[in-house]
Amino acid sequence: MIWTAVQKYSTMGISFVSGIILARLLTPYDYGCIGMLTIFMTIAASFVDGGFASALIQKKRPTQEDYSTVFYWNMSVSLLMYFVLYLCAPAIARFYKIPLLSSVLRVQGLVLIINAVTIIQSNQLRKQFRFKKIAIVTILTSIISLIVTIILAYKGLGVWALVTQNIITAFIPSVIYWLTNRWRPLLLFSKKSFRELFSFGFYMFMTHFVTNISSSIQGLLIGKVYSPATMGFYSKAHGTELLASKSISDVMTQVTYPLYAEVQDDRDRLIFMIKRLTTTLAYLTFPMMFILLLLAKPIFVLLYSERWLPCVPYFQILCIAGLAICLQAVNMQAISAVGKSKIMFTWTLIKRIFGMTCIVGGLFLFGIKGLLCGMVINSWFAYLVNVWLVSKHIGYKFWRQMLDILPIMLLAVSVAIVGYLFNLFSPLSMYMNAVIVLLLYVLIYVGGSVLFKLEAFQYSKEFVPMLFSKLKRNKMKKKA
């Protein structure tokens, strides 16, 4: 968890700096062009993985035949998907009426092949809990890609700077893992391994496939109905919101899935882990999302300049969705870890059909803000369904999980109302007002946690000294 946190927050900091600099060197049009192609890249990437990466982690003792079989499958499908994208690129460009997109997609599509080469290597590192190596490689990659992208953007390459960034981000880890990891594929493709992994991986693939389509459909609709600049504003708002809502949950879920898989037969222990993760995530993420919602305008002006002010209302609506997004994976991964991939796919299909109905209906009834409100409804519906599935198949009851996060939600909302009222009536300047609201929120939230003795707060207090104690013991063991 520590090394995953180092990786996540280092890369998040680098991305943060990158976003600030590039927002001044590139235009909403440049970001919009990349955003329009997201759905096609995402769908192709889903086919490349095919759910086999999750199946390998879920399987307690995968063999060399398993790894080799999945490697050749990934490579074959990645080449096929790139060929399909290459042929479809001109038609996609005509769909959006932007000829440049054809060349952009053909170059960006190379990321699929590069990632296919890397999937097994990174999968083994996660399976072996070697998150230190993953962290170091990811941070190094982020720094190099940032430097190259800024140079290209400064020289006026526009959208090609972003394309290059994506390719470098995929290419460097691939080279390092293959040079430093001992694993090499055997010259075989096992039908037995394929069938065994496919029985679980197929439903994982379908789950990810449906999820990715529904998560990207709004980009397709905005790109078709509105201008590339509007798409750019949406992409920047959505990207900034995800940076916040998934910053903490991604750290935990990278580690928790293999952990869940290890304790899948011990339901009491699994329930305890889900509860701890859910309450801790809620306690840390809820106040962060409300602070960002309250301070959206000064944040965007300060970081990205006034050119990006149209992002603010989009971002504020998406922050409400972010409250649910941060908790979704904890329950989703638990269902996957106990082998309920078929059930998970069935309910994912239901969730996404409902979500796409809300998104499409919102767009045509109320415009882009209606679409965003549809995303909010979709996020909360998906979270509640995940909680119900955990209740039914693992035993962590729905009402119990709701009661566990209710005190945190009530406290976070109450403090947000105080901050909103201060914002409304304060005569101070925008930035001075933002500083005071931030301090007020943190002080009242922490004070309320102490006053009401929130369990998540108590756990956080215990975690820090426990962490240092563990590090100290590890050092003593190494010396011994």
Report the alpha-carbon distance of residue 403 to residue 158 in Å, rounded: 49
> What does the pLDDT read at residue 296?
93
**pLDDT for residue 459 is more than 80:** no
Would you state the pLDDT for residue 254? 66
Smallest CA-to-CA distance from 451 within 416, 402, 415 is with 415
pLDDT, tens digit (0-9, with 9 covering 90-100), for 296-327: 999 898 888 888 888 899 999 999 998 998 88
What are the DSSP calls for 323-353, one per residue? HHHHHHHHHHHHHHHTT-HHHHHHHHHHHHH
Buried b (16+ CB within 10 A) or exposed e, 354-367: bbbebbbebbeeee
SS3 130: coil
User: What one-character-per-residue DSSP string does 378-398 give?
Assistant: HHHHHHHHHHHHHHHHT---H
Q: Given this model, what pLDDT does residue 253 score?
A: 67
Rounded percentage of the chain residues whose pLDDT exceeds 70:
88
User: Residue 182 — pLDDT band, cuts 50, 70, 90?
Assistant: confident
Q: In the predicted model, what is the mean pLDDT of residues 161-169?
A: 90
**Residue 175 burial class via C-beta count within 10 angstroms: exposed 0-12, middle 13-18, buried 19 and up:** middle
List the structure tokens of 357: 């109905």
* Structure confidence by residue, pLDDT tens digits, 280-300: 888 988 999 999 999 999 989
CA 150 to chain centre: 24
* pLDDT tens string 226-255: 877 888 888 888 888 887 777 666 766 666
In this structure, the chain runs to a length of 480
Show Cβ contacts of residue 117 under 8 Å, excluding neighbours closer than 6 positions: 75, 174, 178
Instruction: Convert the pLDDT of each residue in 69-120 to its tens digit.
Output: 888 888 888 999 999 999 999 998 998 888 888 999 999 999 999 988 888 8
- Name residue, tokens 């059909």: 353
Q: How far apart are CA 100 and CA 32, in angstroms?
A: 12
pLDDT of residue 460 exceeding 70, the answer is no
Do residues 55 and 201 touch, judged by C-beta distance below 8 A?
Answer: yes
Place of tokens 């910053």: 247
pLDDT at 414: 94
CB count within 10 Å of CB 277 equals 23
Q: Directed axis angle between helix 228-245 and helix 267-294, to 10°?
A: 130
pTM for this structure?
0.70
Q: What is the pLDDT of residue 252?
A: 67
How far apart, in whole angstroms, are the C-alpha atoms of residue 224 and residue 118? Answer: 33
Residue 33 contacts by C-beta under 8 Å, 6 or more apart in sequence?
Answer: 98, 100, 101, 104, 159, 228
What type of residue is 257?
Y
Q: Taking phi first (over 0 means left), then psi (-120 to 50 degrees means alpha), and beta for anything else, what does residue 475 get?
A: alpha
Tell me the two tokens of residue 146: 């940032």
Give the pair of three-digit tokens for residue 141. Answer: 């990659």
Tell me which of 381 and 304 has the higher pLDDT.
381
Return the structure tokens found at 183: 């694993």
Cα–Cα dist 167/236, whole Å: 20
pLDDT above 80: residue 472: no
Name the DSSP class of 453.
T
- Tell me the CA distances in angstroms from 104 to 74, 89, 154, 405, one per residue in order: 23, 9, 19, 44
Q: What type of residue sits at position 464?
A: V
CA-to-CA separations, 273 to 67, 260, 268, 270, 401, in angstroms, rounded? 29, 8, 9, 5, 12
What average pLDDT does the structure give for the chain?
Answer: 83
